[in-house]
Amino acid sequence: MSTVEEQATVHRAKRADALRNQEKLVAAAREAFAEGGTSTSLEEIARRAGVGIGTLYRHFPSRQELLEAVYIGELEAICDCAAELAELDPWDALVAWLHRFVRYVRTKHALAEELLSYLDRDSEFFRGCRQALTSAGEPLMERAQEAGAVRPDTDFNEVIQMAGGISKIPAGDPALIDRVLDMALDGLRYRPPAT
């Protein structure tokens, strides 16, 4: 193997190792923030990830960048979920995605509040997040409307605001939130006018 090939192999290995470290840091931060809140020390996150604090700072030079990475990771998961649900009946797909959305909002509330200490609600970061959610969820709703399962006199923005409001109900029991969401979604169903 030539020296250039050896260097390329070493470079790829370092890059793969760096990517693994970054993924471990984001996973450790997600877990630490869920357990101890967003004020968990960066040293604790590095320890949980099994890396040094220097490695954490190489990947995330500031707390804000780490918070954003965790937030984006969770956002990507909810967006990917929409594509996975596309195989279901249109109504079932929409309902399943909205339940997942409500759980996402409930668990990410503290993280979003922390990010708001760095960023404005209308920042490019949050606008991009809202656009990603709309791009993922709106086709599910449109498909359900086209199938005649969802009333035509509403739009995705109204439905997402309703679900977001439900996610903020201060209840310790997730089953109660699911029940409230199901009752609200029942009002979203299309019912032909009585003749």
Region 77-84: mean pLDDT is 93
With a pLDDT cut of 90, the percent of the chain lying above it is 65
Q: Say what the pLDDT of residue 92 is.
A: 97
Domain extents for the chain? 1-61, 63-195
Judge whether residue 48 has pLDDT over 90.
yes
Query: Could you tell me which CATH class the domain 63-195 is placed in?
Result: mainly alpha
C-alpha closest to that of 73 among 132, 7, 3: 132
Q: Say what the pLDDT of residue 112 is.
A: 85
**Superfamily classification of domain 1-61:** Homeodomain-like (1.10.10.60)
Q: Which of the residue ranges 3-7, 72-76, 163-167, 185-189 would you say has the lowest mean pLDDT?
A: 3-7
Judge whether residue 42 has pLDDT over 50.
yes
Question: Taking all residues of the chain, what is their mean pLDDT, rounded to a whole number?
Answer: 88
- Give dist(CA 119, CA 85) in Å, integer: 32
Q: Say what the pLDDT of residue 123 is.
A: 92
- Give dist(CA 13, CA 51) in Å, integer: 17
Judge whether residue 140 has pLDDT over 60.
yes
Judge whether residue 159 has pLDDT over 90.
yes
Q: Can you give the pTM of this predicted structure?
A: 0.81
Judge whether residue 1 has pLDDT over 60.
no
